[in-house]
Structure 1
Amino acid sequence: MTPFLENYTLGRWTHEGQAPQELLDASTGELVALANTEGFDYAAILDYGRRVGNPALRRLTFHERGRMLKALAFHLQEKKEIFYELSYRSGATRADSWIDIEGGIGNLFANASLRRKFPDKPFYVEGEPVGLSKGGTFVAQHLLVPREGVAVHINAYNFPIWGMLEKIAVNLLAGMPAVVKPAVPSAYLTEAVVREIIASGILPEGALQLVIGTGQGLLDHVSYQDVVTFTGSAATGARLRAHPRIIQEAVPFTLEADSLNAAVLGLDARPGTPEFDLFIKEVRKEMTAKCGQKCTAIRRAIVPAELLEDVQIALGRALAQTTIGHPQAEGVRMGALAGREQAARLREQVRRLAQTTPIVYGDLDAVEVRGQERGADAARGAFISPIVLRNDHPFEHLDSHELEAFGPVVTLMPYRDTAEAVALANLGRGSLVSSIATNDPRVAQEFVLGAATHHGRILVLNEEMAKESTGHGSPMPQLIHGGPGRAGGGQEMGGIRGVEHFMQRVALQGSPSMLTAITDVYQAGARQVERDKHPFQHYFEELVIGQTYTTHKHTVTEADITNFAQVSGDNFYAHVDATSLAGTLFTGRVAHGYYVLSKAAGMFVDPRKGPVLLNYGLDECRFTKPVYPGTTIGVTLTVKEKIGQEKRDEQDVAKGIVRWLVTVTDETGDTVAVATILTMVKKRDQK
């Protein structure tokens, strides 16, 4: 009996719904599963996420959410072979599936590690404080808190696992639950992963819900506290973004649309150079990986006019080595499209392009398929040959820049100089990514500065970085994934930037003491606390924000400056030669800034053994006023922020990082230096 895919909503699995749809094996045409696609109570589903999942996630700190992602990544890594076996039914080879499966799990790991960029708190203090008054009693600070809604993810069929995991990794780290609506044709893969996520028990209830359907009516119930993300065609994305509810509620909407990405062969990349070979390799890879069904795939190959024939021949030779067939058959390097519907649409798109840009490689109607013993069927499956078109007049025949054939299809086009290459790349009216193969920095700079306004990411490909490059078509979780114009104007992932998208930014105003109490970060001018012993003798838990230690005084002498010059080797004229100061900012020999900081450390450090384990570093430092011989300095040391650290293992010491504000003043009360130093401090509780 053919199984029904199930939805996970309101805390339970169910296949309730209407209008069942058949999901077919992309290689054999066999029935894989049925999915009910309509009849869902989206109002209840969204309410459940807001009411149950959201409070549970909001209570957790960034570090707790990050550790949750890490545990989830390890769990899915152990189950990955289940997903690989199922992924073959989508037409994907093992290599294609690796991008989807382990690329998605990699996003979980990357965002788990990103927790260290955030405090061990449920909220995030962003940037530096802003002074709003002369006396310093009125200040402001930007604060980010998780939204109180649900992240609604409407995903595409080409990456049923990566597309979900790269999105939920970010919203979960931010503290928001998700409702995932995958594209139906490959939803059996998304369901398999969600089933393992729920079974793991790692996420709190309500943090993730799955709806396999058309999504009709879903956006009718979103609110201004929700966030909607969409991956798919630009036309569909534009319709969704114009939904009345999105507009009325001002719902944040991120659109990541398929785009006509371009790859440029630099003027210096002649045949025989590593860059020429890398260009051919990259174009072939982007055509055949996932059967060209990637939103980042190369659709336009822009090459110097005099090399058009060379590129056409070299690319044809490379593509001729691509064996097509069942993804589990030996030697197959390219599988099938996701389904026959996608194959029919692709053929229609190519025929439209071929009216003005002829096919110079491949056959739309015939393809040799390997793997019949596994059921591969050229007639029932969604196989297609790689197709290369040629546009000799790319400024006249504009379909190449406007119509995307979503599959193993690329159009070659010539250019005369780099400015023309930029113009052609930008004719795509906004792309997720472009690349240029060149070893000439001047060519690279001209292209990047000209094309940056039209692209979300630019890869400069040359021999130096080729071995470690992830390639043209690989978005990285640390970087934004999106692009302007046709690409949708969205920014997925992007490290801290991506997390901020699921949080509300508020400008907090008040007194330094009040903002310190709210944010747990010391604001200059806030009330300070003096304790009964030196702060270096307090364990991590005992230290309080604003705890302050004021040192003894020291009068700087010429001998101090001379001795520091000898020890450090810093003999800059202003420190050692009083006869060279005419026309400078200084009125006499001036103390080294690093002497002032070093002396300050000597004044505030407690030499006794205690909970402070080591000096962890220096975040920032400014020297604000010259210190001359005869100047008397004093130091104030204040606990600015505390950041707990995780134990690496049971034998590791429980500890945290303390950020200290170091303020050095002279006898007039003026600040001469200010710095933020970090120490690693032992916790009293070693659990």
Structure 2
Amino acid sequence: MTLTSVATSSARLLDQFGLSAIAQAGDWPVRSPIDGSLLARLRTHTVDEADAAIARAQQAFAVWRNVPAPRRGELVRLFGEVLREEKAALGELVSLEAGKIRSEGLGEVQEMIDICDFAVGLSRQLHGLTIASERPGHRMMEQWHPLGVVGVISAFNFPVAVWAWNAALALVCGDPVVWKPSEKTPLTALACQALFARALQRFGADAPAGLSELLIGGASLGERLVDDPRVALVSATGSTRMGRAVGPRVAQRFGRVLLELGGNNAVIVAPTADLDLAVRGIAFAAVGTCGQRCTSTRRLIVHESVREALVARLKQAYAGLPVGDPLAEGTLVGPLVDGAAFEAMQAALRAAAAEGGTVTGGERLLADAHPDAFYVRPALVEMPAQTATVRHETFAPILYVLTYRDFDAAIALQNDVPQGLSSAIFTNDLREAEAFLAASGSDCGIANVNIGTSGAEIGGAFGGEKETGGGRESGSDAWKNYMRRATNTVNHSRSLPLAQGVRFDI
């Protein structure tokens, strides 16, 4: 794709979303990683405007929490309808702004649609428990109530899906959302707001103003969400460094956090593994989104008996990967997001080589055609041990190869990193598979058998342990993050017995 066509496509899409005027309203530059071309110049919000947005959301909460949950679900259903209508356009904008290949851009919007469907069903299932009371004539139960304003801080690599995970659940749970997207991908956020406005028009008068607020700008706006006591929950996706700053600051004011941070995900390949399956699963997980997923496979722990065969096949697969324009037919690897990501990748490869690693790939591609974009050949690095460089997450398509002989040693190697997001094993040995999934197996929040580490479905809770932050978003019972629990006891008798046999007669 040429610089002219990137700019033309972007202008067409912004016009389709009604954003043409907004896109030229300020001096904040938005560039495409495809070729570095300028897509927009946005006006950023001030801290005072962020404060006003939080105030509007707080006012909306006072109304929205009393709207019946199934009715709240209707708004999310309508939003899902709008997303279906504009899937192609929003998916293309994701590719233009984040550099994802076309199928991944479309897949991200499909993920938004899926979470809307999930949330609509959930809107009739926000149920608590009835609990047996030890006191005669008493009933004890739990209720779940809306929590309050939810602040969402999202990252560039999934510029719309992670917001949708939070927003769809928050809205059916009765909570307004204030969203601070990545500085690198604000246009997709503006497009989402425009589409949500369409859903609001169809929904009618039950929806108060301020249900979904958007803050465009730098770190100071995220800090406003983090520090404001009116923001009941801060859901932040990003680096471990960012999480170390966010977590304590929210805790200091006794707010809630939902942190989705770093991942250093490993795949174990056992002697009985189906290597055809393993090659396909590893390749997608390691190079999809140009290695810029929190669930990207970064470590390959392969049994010595199959190492030579597997590494040879991976090298062959890597050499043939089509790298280039993410919107072109057949491309599998688009660009890194920017020059800083490229420099971080090169620094990691130099460090790995200094630690005894053998590097295949990793070089810059297409620099003559696109001097302001950063395309790379995905790198495969054969390491003598799990060194400090291997234990550090580099957000780029680098796959470190390690060898094991004993299965317990493979599990120990897999777990011996600070991060704990996703993991996988390729094996046809039932005992190994079950041991990997057991309490003494993988210590990650996601553990898979015979699929890669990447590409989670919305039905399961998403998140990880250790320095990944411990948060859970998307499916299962992640909705409980967005609500508060109340335990209620109702006395329908004419006496007043006390619990634990306590007597207090007056």
Listed as ranges, the gaps of 5+ residues in structure 2 are: 1-6, 15-20, 495-506
The aligned amino acid for 1:259 is G
Say whether 1:77 aligns with 2:84. yes
| Paired residues, number | 470
| 1:293 alignment counterpart | 292
Q: For residue 47 of structure 1, report the CA deviation from its aligned partner.
A: 1.4
Deviation at 1:358, TM superposition (A): 2.3
Change over 3 Å in CA distance of 1:154–1:513 after alignment to 2: farther
- Cα offset, 1:155, TM superposition: 0.4
* Structure with greater Cα Rg: 1
Distance 1:103 1:211 in 2: 23
Q: Where does residue 48 of structure 1 map in the other structure?
A: 56
Residue 128 (structure 1) aligns with: 130
| Pair 1:226 & 2:237 matched | no
Aligned with 1:476: secondary structure? coil
Partner of 1:509: 489
Q: Residues 149 and 232 of structure 2 are in contact (CA less than 8 Å); yes or no, is this contact kept in structure 1?
A: yes
Contact 1:224 1:251 in 2 (8 A): no
Following the alignment from structure 1 to structure 2, what is the Cα–Cα distance between the partners of residues 458 and 191? 35
Q: Give the 3 Å change call, closer, same or farther, for CA 220–233 of structure 1 in structure 2.
A: closer
Quote the Cα distance in structure 1 between the aligned partners of 2:144 and 2:65.
12
Query: Using the alignment, how far apart are the partners of 1:204 and 1:350 within structure 2?
Result: 52
Alignment of 1:428-467 (within 5 A): 428-449=417-438, 452=441, 454-461=443-450
Q: 1:13-412 to 2 correspondence within 5 Å? A: 20-37=27-44, 39-41=46-48, 42-51=50-59, 53-89=60-96, 90-118=98-126, 124=127, 126-133=128-135, 136-147=136-147, 149-201=148-200, 202=203, 204-216=208-220, 217-219=223-225, 221-223=227-229, 226-243=232-249, 246-269=250-273, 275-364=274-363, 366-368=364-366, 377-394=369-386, 397-401=387-391, 403-412=392-401
Q: Is the 8 A contact 1:26 1:337 kept in 2?
A: yes
Q: Match of 1:413, SS? A: strand
Instruction: Name the amino acid aligned to 1:132.
Output: E
Contact 2:435 2:441 in 1 (8 A): no
Code of the aligned partner of 1:127:
L
Q: Which runs of 4+ in 1 moved over 6 A?
A: 13-18
Shift of the 22–131 alpha-carbon distance from structure 1 to 2, 3 Å rule, reads same
Tell me how far apart the structure 1 counterparts of residues 176 and 302 of structure 2 sit (CA, whole Å).
Answer: 46
Contact 1:49 1:207 in 2 (8 A): yes
SS in 2 for 1:242: helix
- Change in Cα spacing, 1:476 to 1:509, as seen in structure 2 (3 Å) is same
Flag the 1:82–1:248 CA change in 2: closer, same or farther, 3 A.
same
Distance 1:328 1:484 in 2: 35
8 Å Cα contact 1:291-1:336 kept in structure 2: yes
CA RMSD of aligned residues (A): 2.6
Alignment of 1:457-536 (within 5 A): 457-461=446-450, 472-495=453-476, 497-512=477-492
Q: 1:87 is matched by which residue type in structure 2?
A: V
SS at match of 1:381: coil
Distance in 2, matches of 1:456 and 1:358, equals 29
Amino acid at match of 1:48: R
Q: How does 1:512-591 map to 2 (within 5 A)?
A: 512=492
Q: Is 2:414–2:442's contact at 8 Å kept on the other side of the alignment?
A: no
**CA offsets 1:521-566 (integer angstroms, 9 cap, x no match):** xxxxxxxxxxxxxxxxxxxxxxxxxxxxxxxxxxxxxxxxxxxxxx
Whether the aligned pair in 2 keeps the contact of 1:425 and 1:451 (CA below 8 Å) is no
Aligned mates of 1:225, 1:161 — CA distance in 2 = 21
Whether the 8 Å contact between 2:151 and 2:231 is mirrored in structure 1 is no
Query: 1:452, 1:189 → 2: CA distance?
Result: 39
Q: Out of 415, 422, 428, which is 2:404 matched to?
A: 415
**More helix, by proportion:** 2
Shift of 1:368: 4.9
Q: Residue deviations 1:289-324, cap 9 Å, x none?
A: 211111111111111023222221111111122111
CA contact (8 A) 1:35 1:184 kept: no
Distance 1:358 1:248, change over 3 A: closer
For 1:443, the aligned partner's letter is E
TM-score, with normalisation over the residues of structure 1? 0.65
Task: Give percent identity, aligned residues only.
Answer: 24
Contact kept? 2:353, 2:359, Cα under 8 Å: no
